[in-house]
């Protein structure tokens, strides 16, 4: 059985079965009797990640437990690191099953199609002898972390857009505007709204030197490859989305750089903590994740932990994007709050926009509603077990929590419950990982401020037109 009972059971989710416990139980059973399984994930420009584990030999009486373990492991790695080609070394049988699952009409077809969209090439599963697996070939960029000059930073979420003006490291203006980008089919709406946000903040500066942005989704070289804020844009209009940020950069006449919102969260943590090994988690409309490695680099991985599984329960809710059960978005975002609200006796206004429903739940929390308190405690327990799971895939020294779900009293409840889980179930991790809940301003604006540091300044300022 993959299911494992946690020592700390979420008050509103008694069937929660953390993936970290199931995986560790499997690895403990395999022990020294296991055989190696080597996984290679090739992404853009020939970059490749490796992950090594052990499974039961085919002759072992528990060999049938290999598949549940490997199948969930592969799904996690795909959404964490990304790949257009998946190499499996050490088990032709598992390779064959994966090939069937990720083929057209297979159970993981949606995952394969997503990877094809991101990397713009067919998704493949390839069997390879273990000794022939290519070495790791990782990429990374080192952000400037420079806030000198006159800069604008923006953060584009699914429910609101934020913008800030920074002059020589000092925040002098910020704004938060509710918008509905996911329902808009005309990319002119997105162009107009994003440009308006930048211009509004820039109007508070004597001139504009550079613009940096944080945006929900996946972005390579200032091009959105997938972003929920553009999900209603029809295929024939996608070229206008792909070059949207280049067009804004040309109109402003200053350098503009956009990264994934999760990477911006991690960068915000690295800047504020003056350290590396930072996992940033933004608990907002969905779950955004990013990572600054021990060398201070943004990894180039997808870090789409919203679609990476954290729960093995048979009745675990499905992720909207991949269709997979037990994915992070249903546990560590406002989607989790909305899912738990009926169990908590909290009647949210269904006709309201998501941001307004979240605000209503937070008002009930501030008023001491016992069900609302239980919701945020449940999220904190989810977070504790999820962090232990993430620590099997990232080298983590710090975790930075951002996003609207951590605003107000909810942030402290989440933090307290997560730390309790680590201290009781994973004491070595509790000693190694520090969880940080920044002040309210940083929680709401940290990604926009960090993103402002991305571009390198030109040699002379450009006048704002």
Quick check: 147 and 167 in contact, CB under 8 A? no
How many structural domains compose the chain? 2
SS3 325: strand
Confidence band (pLDDT; 50, 70, 90) for 458? low
Q: In what order do the strands lie in the sheet with 287-292?
A: 287-292, 278-283, 398-402, 434-436
Residue pLDDT, tens place only, 251-310: 999 999 999 988 998 998 999 899 999 999 989 888 989 999 999 999 889 999 999 999
465 pLDDT tier (thresholds 50, 70, 90)? very low
The Cα–Cα gap between 134 and 252 comes to 44
What does the block give as tokens for 146? 């420079």
Query: Domain check: are 84 and 147 in the same one?
Result: no
| CA nearest to 268, candidates 143, 359, 184 | 143
Q: What is the mean pLDDT of the chain?
A: 93
CATH number at residue 300: 3.30.420.40
* pLDDT classification of 459: cutoffs 50, 70, 90: low
Same domain, 305 and 398: yes
Query: Same domain for 299 and 318?
Result: yes
For residue 100, the SS3 value is helix
Using one digit for the tens of pLDDT, what is the confidence trace for 392-437? Answer: 999 999 999 988 899 899 999 999 999 999 999 999 999 999 999 9
377 and 360 in one domain? yes
Q: Is residue 239 part of a domain?
A: yes
The pTM of this model reads 0.89
338 and 196 share one domain = yes
Residue 15, domain member (yes or no): no
CA–CA separation, 244 and 248 (whole Å): 6
Domain region containing 39: 34-132
Burial class (CB in 10 A: 0-12, 13-18, 19+), 166: buried
Residues 340 and 320: their CA atoms lie apart, in Å, by 16
The answer to whether residue 113 scores a pLDDT higher than 80 is yes
Regarding whether 221 and 82 lie in a shared domain, the answer is no
The rounded Cα 394 to chain-centroid distance in angstroms is 13
Which residues, 6 or more positions from 366, have their beta carbon under 8 angstroms from its beta carbon? Answer: 408, 409
Query: CA separation (Å) from 174 to 43, 94, 117, 177, 202?
Result: 37, 52, 34, 10, 10
């Amino acid at each position: 059985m993959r299911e494992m009972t946690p020592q700390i059971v979420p008050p509103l989710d008694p069937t929660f079965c953390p993936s970290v416990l199931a995986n560790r139980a499997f690895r403990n059973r395999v022990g020294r009797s296991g055989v190696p399984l080597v996984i290679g994930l090739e992404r853009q420009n020939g970059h490749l990640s490796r992950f090594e584990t052990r499974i039961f030999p085919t002759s072992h009486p528990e060999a049938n437990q290999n598949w549940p373990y490997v199948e969930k492991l592969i799904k996690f790695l795909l959404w964490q690191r990304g790949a257009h080609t998946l190499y499996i070394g050490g088990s032709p049988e598992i390779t064959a099953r994966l090939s069937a699952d990720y083929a057209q009409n297979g159970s993981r077809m949606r995952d394969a199609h997503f990877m094809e969209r991101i990397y713009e090439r067919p998704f493949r599963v390839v069997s390879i002898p273990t000794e022939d697996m290519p070495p790791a070939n990782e990429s990374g960029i080192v952000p400037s972390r420079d806030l000198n000059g006159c800069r604008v930073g923006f953060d584009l979420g699914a429910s609101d857009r934020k913008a800030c003006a920074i002059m020589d490291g000092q925040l002098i203006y910020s704004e938060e505007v509710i918008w509905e980008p996911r329902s808009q089919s005309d990319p002119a709406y997105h162009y107009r709204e994003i440009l308006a946000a930048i211009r509004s903040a820039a109007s508070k500066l004597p001139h504009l030197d550079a613009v940096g942005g944080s945006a929900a989704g996946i972005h390579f070289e200032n091009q959105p490859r997938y972003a929920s804020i553009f999900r209603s844009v029809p295929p024939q209009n996608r070229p206008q989305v792909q070059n949207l940020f280049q067009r804004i950069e040309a109109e402003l006449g200053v350098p503009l750089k956009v990264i994934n919102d999760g990477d911006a969260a991690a960068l915000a943590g690295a800047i504020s903590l003056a350290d590396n090994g930072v996992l940033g988690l933004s608990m907002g409309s969905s779950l955004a994740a990013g990572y600054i490695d021990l060398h201070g680099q943004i990894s180039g991985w997808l870090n789409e932990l919203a679609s990476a599984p954290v729960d093995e329960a048979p009745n675990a809710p499905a992720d909207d994007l991949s269709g997979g059960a037990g994915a992070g978005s249903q546990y560590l975002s406002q989607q989790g709050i909305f899912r738990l609200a009926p169990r908590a006796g909290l009647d949210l206004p269904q006709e309201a926009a998501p941001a307004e429903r979240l605000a209503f739940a937070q008002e009930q929390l501030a008023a001491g509603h016992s069900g609302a308190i239980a919701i945020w405690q449940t999220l904190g327990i989810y977070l504790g077990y999820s962090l232990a799971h993430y620590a099997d895939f990232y080298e983590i020294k710090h975790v930075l929590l951002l996003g609207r779900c951590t605003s107000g009293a909810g942030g402290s409840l989440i933090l307290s419950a997560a730390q309790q889980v680590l201290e009781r179930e994973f004491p070595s991790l509790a000693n190694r990982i520090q969880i940080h809940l920044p002040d309210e301003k940083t929680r709401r604006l940290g990604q926009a401020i960090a993103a402002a540091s991305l571009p390198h300044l030109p040699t002379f300022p450009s006048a704002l037109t």
